[in-house]
Amino acid sequence: MSTFFRGPICGTDNCRSRLWRIIDGRRTCQYGHVMEGDVEFNDDEDDINSMGVVTRRLNLTTNVTGSFRSSMNSQLQNSQKNDEFPKVYGAEADRLFLKCFQHILKLQCEYLISYQKFPRAFRECVKLMWMNLLKDMGKDGITNVSSTKSAQGAAQKSDKLGLSLLSSVTLLYLAGAYLKLPVFWFDFLGWICSMKLLYFQANKHLPELWRRQLPNFYLQVLEGGRAPSNAHFYHKLAHMCSRLDAPSTFGTRIAIEPLLVKLLLRLRLPPHLFFHVVQLVRICEDKSSHYTFALNGNSRSRVNKLYEHAEIRMIGYFILCLRYKLLQEDEFLTRYCIAWLKQDHLGCGDDILTSLSYTPVTLETWNDRSTEHYLHWMEKHYLPASTVGFGDTQTIDQRIANRKLHVMFPLKAENSARLNPSVTFVNESQDAYLTIIDALQNISKAGELQEDSKSLASRVEERLVDFFSNLIAVSHAQLNGCVSYLHRSAMRQNPQFRKGRHSKSFR
Task: Identify whether residues 67 and 100 lie together within a single domain.
Answer: no
Query: Does 385 reside within a domain?
Result: no
Task: Identify whether residues 278 and 366 lie together within a single domain.
Answer: yes
CB-facing half-sphere around the CA of 425: CA atoms within 13 A: 14
Query: Does 349 reside within a domain?
Result: yes
Query: Does 334 reside within a domain?
Result: yes
Query: Does 246 reside within a domain?
Result: no
Domain end: 39, 71, 103, which one? 71
Q: How far apart are CA 482 and CA 493, in angstroms?
A: 17
Task: Identify whether residues 202 and 143 lie together within a single domain.
Answer: yes
Query: Does 114 reside within a domain?
Result: yes
Assessment of whether the complete model's pTM goes beyond 0.75: no
Task: Identify whether residues 127 and 160 lie together within a single domain.
Answer: yes
In DSSP terms, 331 is beta-bridged to none
Domain end: 227, 252, 274, which one? 227
CB-count exposure of residue 351 (10 Å: 0-12, 13-18, 19+): buried
Task: Identify whether residues 350 and 477 lie together within a single domain.
Answer: yes
Task: Identify whether residues 222 and 149 lie together within a single domain.
Answer: yes
Domain end: 209, 227, 245, which one? 227
- In order of 266, 341, 506, the CA distances from 274 in angstroms are 13, 19, 13
Domains of the chain: total: 3
Task: Identify whether residues 95 and 67 lie together within a single domain.
Answer: no
Task: Identify whether residues 350 and 203 lie together within a single domain.
Answer: no
Task: Identify whether residues 153 and 298 lie together within a single domain.
Answer: no
Task: Identify whether residues 155 and 35 lie together within a single domain.
Answer: no
Task: Identify whether residues 63 and 96 lie together within a single domain.
Answer: no
pLDDT in tens, the chain (507 residues): 568 888 888 888 888 888 988 887 788 888 888 887 776 555 555 555 555 555 555 555 565 455 555 555 555 555 555 556 688 988 999 999 999 999 999 999 999 999 999 999 999 999 999 999 998 887 765 544 444 444 455 455 555 678 999 999 999 999 998 898 999 999 999 999 888 899 988 999 999 999 999 999 999 999 888 888 889 999 998 888 888 877 667 766 778 889 999 999 888 899 999 999 988 988 888 654 455 455 544 455 556 688 888 899 999 999 999 999 999 888 889 888 888 888 766 766 566 656 655 555 555 556 666 677 667 666 665 554 444 444 455 677 777 887 787 788 776 655 544 445 555 667 777 777 888 887 777 775 545 566 788 999 999 999 999 999 989 999 999 999 999 999 998 888 776 665 555 555 566
Q: 14 lies in which domain range?
A: 5-71
Query: Does 387 reside within a domain?
Result: no
Query: Does 318 reside within a domain?
Result: yes
- CA 299, distance to chain mean position in Å, is 24
Q: How far apart are CA 482 and CA 480, in angstroms?
A: 5
Task: Identify whether residues 201 and 277 lie together within a single domain.
Answer: no
Query: Does 241 reside within a domain?
Result: no
